[in-house]
Every structure is written in structure tokens, then in C-alpha cells.
Amino acid sequence: MNGFVKRGLVLLVIAALALACAGCGAPKDKAYAAKEKFKLNDNTFALEKWMRKPDMDSGSKKAYDLCLLMVGDDVPVIINGANMTSGVNVAFALGEDTVDAGTVGYQHNVDVPGYGVRASFTLLLPEGSELPQSAELYDVSNKEKRVALNLSGLTVEE
């Protein structure tokens, strides 16, 4: 084989590898909407709804839970001695700021088939404020692992 043909074959292989790997880095800017399943680490989630929590209001702030459904019964927790904390949290986009959920809770799901756990992330909003339209679910041990969430289509259950 002459040098010209070898170079051509090498260029073809490089082009084929570049095309094959074009999907390797799936877009991280996809924001998952209500009912869409998505993964973070080994857990599969789906956005469900907002739930108004008047019993958790604090002064002039109103409490809302962002509810996510989880496939299976594995709850992402971190155990450190006698302490147990959630392995995931939500950062809510509020204007130019982001606010992490103040409380994270997990409960057994019995009303939505196909999901074993309902996770709730509590947000305290100043009275008169709009619910955030976007957020990110993240791994508390590695905050680089994040999934964008589109909250605009969620309903509010009173």
C-alpha cells in the first residue's frame, strides 16, 4: 500500500471514531420535566408535583415540598456513625440565587404504580414569591453530579 492510501485510511478511521463518539458526552443541559424518568447515580427518579405544607410555614415564609418518585426501594442515604443524611438534594433557582432544600424526606409510595418511594424536598418561599421554574437534583458527596429539572409543568397540591 502506498503512503497516500495509508493516510486516506487513517483519516477515514479517525472520522469514523469521531462520528461514533459524537454521542458519548450526552448533553447535560437537558432539563427533565414532570413524569420523565431520569437517573442520578444508581437511582431512577421522576418529577411528580409540588405539595403545599402549611404546617411547616415559618413566619412570612410558606413551605412547599417538591415531590420526586423513585423506582424501587433503594433510598440514597449517607450513614456516618449514628447520623443518617440524604445522599441527594435539590438546588432551587430563585432569580439569580440558588437555594438548597431545607429538609429532605423519604416515604413509601403506595398511590403511584411503578414507584417504591416518594422523596420530598422542602422549600420555604417568602410570601408572594413565585415557585421556581427550574432546579437541579445533585449528589451531596459529589456536587458535580447534577441533573437539571424543569419545574414549570408541575401541579401544586394543597
Nearest of 106, 126, 121 to residue 57 by alpha carbon: 126
Identify which has the larger pLDDT, 32 or 14.
32
Which burial class, exposed, middle or buried, applies to 13 when counting CB atoms under 10 A from its CB (0-12, 13-18, 19+)? Answer: exposed
> What local confidence, expressed as pLDDT, does residue 7 receive?
53
State yes or no: pLDDT of 129 exceeds 70: yes
State yes or no: pLDDT of 16 exceeds 90: no
Instruction: List phi, psi (to 5°) of 126.
Output: -60, 140
State yes or no: pLDDT of 18 exceeds 60: no
> What local confidence, expressed as pLDDT, does residue 15 receive?
42
Annotated domain spans of the chain: 29-157
CB 116 within 8 Å of CB 72: yes
Name the E strands within 1-114.
Answer: 31-32, 37-40, 43-52, 61-70, 77-80, 83-86, 88-94, 97-100, 103-108
Nearest of 84, 91, 83, 81 to residue 40 by alpha carbon: 91
> Residue for cell digits 420555604?
124
For range 120-127, the mean pLDDT: 95
Q: What is the mean pLDDT of the chain?
A: 86
CB 28 within 8 Å of CB 17: no
| Structure confidence by residue, pLDDT tens digits, 29-65 | 699 999 999 999 999 999 999 999 999 999 999 999 9
CATH topology for 29-157? Immunoglobulin-like (2.60.40)
> What local confidence, expressed as pLDDT, does residue 155 receive?
95
